[in-house]
Chain A
Amino acid sequence: MKQRGLQWTASRLARFAGTVCLLLCLAFSGSVSAADRVHFLIPGGAGGGWDSTARGVGEALARSGLVEVASYENLSGGGGSRAMAHLIETADRQTNTLMISSSPIILRSLRNLYPQSYRDLTPVASVVVDYGAFVVRVDSPYESWQDVIDDFSANPRGVNIAGGSSRASMDHIVAALAFQKSGVDARQMKYIPYNAGGHAMVGLLSGETQLLSTGLSEAIALADQGEVRILAMTAPDRLERVPDVPTLVEQGVPAVFSNWRGFFAAPGASAAQIQQFRATLSALFETDAWRTIRELRGWTDFHVTGDAFDTFLDQQEQDMAVLLRELGLLE
């Protein structure tokens, strides 16, 4: 009787231990570390630049096995500030979350359009860069950037400059930077805002504007097919992808502007967590999956990570603040 009871208890114990082991296994497989699961928070809607970059990175990470699962969440609103607010509010639940962002995050904080700034988040690393490009129609009389400046000096009201975002946002600021560094009064620029880069391109092609300020990546395809010409771009050096497009610097205009796209983690993320994110993203650049996606999308790698990313952001913020003040767009 006693023995039977003991046996019974032993088998029960064994079963119990087995169950615990099983549960532990489940728990371990389910307890997600950054390398298993990354959740991308996208501050804009489907189809936008943030969306395509985050999904491109996620896809490459998943395809190359660097993470098991990549999930995405589009949270648009307030020009990106709602996603930031959400990340800050729910920081303790967002240990696996990477929020994508780009240069406008700095511009909008400077202009007090955001209640937050990138300093309220934890910068992780940048991944790709796009440069500002100045585009004209194929039949445009402008052959070089200098032609634009000459025409502008003669009659500032005669050069309509299209851009795909509102006044004082990126397309406008990049154009203003280029004009200012060319030695003319950028405050006299006639900037014509459109609600998307594509619409601004149509505006240029329809003939109502003479110059388009846009992202290089948005102009390459049409330039390749001979529909438009790119007069200049804001990279420091010529790019492999478009060897024929001159930089502003080589045309004697010291204007360099990088529209980075990069990732931020929740505020208060642990050092180990950030380290893991950075390691994962660094490994990304070595994968074939990433190279394929990057080629397809026409992106340029821009891997600034660690403390260098913080320094880079600080520098860009200072530069833009100076420019905005000089343009009278910021008190």
Chain B
Amino acid sequence: MIDGILTGLQTAFSPINLLMVFVGCFAGTFIGMLPGLGPVSAIALMIPITYGLDPASGLILIAGVYYGAIFGGSTSAILINAPGVSGAVATAFDGYPLAQRGQAGKALAIAAYGSFAGGTVGAILLLVFVPFLAKVSLSFQSADYFALMLFGCTAVAAFSGKGQVVKAILMTLLGLMLATVGEDPSGIQRFTFGNADFYDGISFLLLSMATFALAEALIVVLRGSGGSATASDLEKDKLGSMKLSSDEVRDIAPAVGRSSILGFFVGILPGAGATIASFLAYGMERNAAPGDKKEEFGDGSHRGLAAPETANNAASTGSFVPLLTLGIPGSATTAVMLGALLSYGVQPGPRRYIDSPAVFWSVIISMYVGNIILLVLNLPLIPYISKLLSVPRQLLTPIILFFSLMGVYLVSFNTIDLSMMVAIGAIAVVIRILDYPLAPLLLGFILGGMLEDNLRRALLIWDGSFAFLWQRPITATIMVITLLTLLIPVIGSLRDGRRARHPDPFME
């Protein structure tokens, strides 16, 4: 294994391969910044270019594009509330408010550091524990996934401001309901009205672009030009500042550490992926935060930005575990990667890291190099990128509208998606005016599909009995954690309530 790692290091640090990582990261960042174009499209675009290269270089280029695209996605989420990839949706929750407060540079820097940390921890875990990790990804059954998704739902608390718990729960339910649109696993059409365009359900990216970017732009239009203070009215020179005080670093660091590990392990599970990891990390950090820090979430919390951004990069690294050890792609992106591997005649699998260590280890090591290059590449660019916000609203709003609509269209080439997006965007504006939070809607939607599929499978396998909830150790453990997460704040606030004679502890 040491020999393998050394061979890998040698391959990864050859000048041509360093150039490949650089080119990949650079191209990926720009593709990822365009709303709608994510790692899948970026890699698919790159594959033909890599045909002429030798396998290690080709894969390194692709790994670079992959990281770049994920990173680029968070830039557009922070600056214009238009997450370029679904993994960056949770980044927008706190990143965009921060940018609006004139701290775009700081927000982008936190995202860059978070991504870097997540990728680093992920790469190290991958390097050290590969053979063991394959077993972890195979120990999870449908019942455990169900429990994990249920645990994810407890993150709803993280998305509800003061006195909004009921509203947040309602929005989560709406999200769960929207997730049922389409053909269900028993082959039955639900809410498709016989229209083939709805068979595949609503895409998460469409929903998040409509509720965030589009709704935001529409609200700006509704308010008129003189309405709110825009970033351009704020101190322009502060926009690009990316200085973090040592207090801020100390505040973020533990969140980054926790999120890297959580993200990585969620990433290992086939099907869970970076998006769910980022939501789980966001929820976990909110629940773990002390009282006053909790209030900041959703309103420009540094932790709230660092957590999902770290987790989604760690998860992206983790998602290579099932791919490299079993040849099983856990996500659309890794499926495209598998295609690329196969066209080089590299069949990933349990023996791969023994049979051809050069390819295996150089891919893993170049992932890490990719992380470093991303940081080096992006930090100097941040002051310039964040100046985007000083573009006057009258110009910026049409640009946002154009790119978000274009992004969704480029994914599906379906005009129905555009109508659907505009309709959802209009509804989202009404929802926002009524002061309902929209993030829980996305939470419910992203978890809903997996929640239902896994519950269905677990029930089928257990012949309709719910016994798996306590008979399977992993499921039971996650269920206990879920219950504790739900109960501890309630008990705490009951106690506080009694002391302070709080009128309604549940409205905390």
Contacts and interface: CB of A to CB of B under 8 A. Distances in A.
Contact of B185 (A73, A195, A224): A195
Interface string B325-366: 011111010011011001101010111000000000000000
B228 to A, nearest CB: 38
A207 interface: yes
Contact of A76 (B186, B330, B349, B412): B412
Contacts of B183: 79, 113, 166
B461 A46 contact: no
B414 interface: yes
Contacts of B350: 225-227
A296 B461 CA distance: 36
A81 B196 contact: yes
B49 interface: no
A205 B183 CA distance: 26
A181 to B, nearest CB: 22
A12 interface: no
A297 interface: yes
Given A198-B328, A225-B349, A225-B351, A206 B140 contact: yes
B83 interface: no
A77 B200 contact: yes
A46 B44 contact: yes
Given A195-B271, A209-B461, A82 B197 contact: yes
Contacts of A48: 335
A190 B463 CA distance: 9
B191 to A, nearest CB: 14
A22 to B, nearest CB: 32
A76 B44 CA distance: 15
A221 interface: yes
Interface in A64-87: 73, 75-79, 81-82, 85
B349 A75 contact: no
B199 A208 contact: no
- Interface bracket on A: 35 or more
Interface string B443-466: 000000000010011001101000
A190 B186 CA distance: 12
A198 B330 CA distance: 7
Nearest to A296: B345
Given A78-B200, A202-B137, A166 B185 contact: yes
Given A75-B413, A82-B196, A227-B350, A199 B186 contact: no
B44 A77 contact: no
Interface in B135-165: 137-143
Interface residues of B, number: 51
B227 interface: no
A76 B322 contact: no
B41 interface: yes
A61 interface: no
Given A198-B328, A225-B350, A78 B461 contact: no
Interface string A198-220: 11011101111100000000000
Contacts of B187: 111, 166-169
B457 A205 contact: no
A77 B44 CA distance: 18
B349 A222 contact: yes
Interface in A268-301: 293, 296-297
Interface string A47-63: 11001100010010000
A241 interface: no
Contact of B335 (A47, A81, A190, A208): A47
Nearest to A204: B138
Contact of A79 (B137, B139, B200, B330): B200
B271 A296 contact: no
A193 interface: yes
Contacts of A190: 460
A208 B142 contact: yes
Nearest to B196: A78
Contacts of A113: 183, 189, 199
A302 interface: no
B73 interface: no
B296 interface: no
A128 interface: no
A208 B462 CA distance: 9
Contact of B342 (A77, A79, A205, A297): A297
Contacts of B343: 56, 293, 296-297
B40 interface: yes
A152 to B, nearest CB: 15
B457 A202 contact: no
B429 to A, nearest CB: 27
A236 B202 CA distance: 41
Contacts of B143: 208
A208 B347 CA distance: 26
B290 to A, nearest CB: 38
A81 B143 CA distance: 33
Contact of B196 (A75, A115, A168, A297): A115
A78 B183 CA distance: 9
A160 interface: yes
A198 B185 CA distance: 16
B68 interface: no
Interface in A158-212: 160, 166-169, 190, 192-196, 198-199, 201-203, 205-209
A119 interface: no
B459 to A, nearest CB: 10
Contacts of A201: 326, 328
B95 interface: no
B508 interface: no
Nearest to A202: B270
Contact of B141 (A115, A166, A207, A296): A207
Given A47-B339, A193-B457, A209-B461, A79 B199 contact: yes
A77 B414 contact: yes
A254 interface: no
Nearest to A45: B332
Contacts of A78: 196-197, 199-200
Contacts of B185: 166-167, 193, 195
Interface of B: 40-41, 43-44, 51, 137-143, 183-187, 189, 196-197, 199-200, 270-271, 322, 326-330, 332, 335-336, 338-339, 342-343, 345, 347, 349-351, 412-414, 453, 456-457, 460-461, 463
Interface of A: 45-48, 51-52, 56, 59, 73, 75-79, 81-82, 85, 111, 113-115, 157, 160, 166-169, 190, 192-196, 198-199, 201-203, 205-209, 221-222, 224-227, 293, 296-297
6 contacts: A115-B196, A166-B187, A199-B271, A201-B326, A202-B137, A202-B328
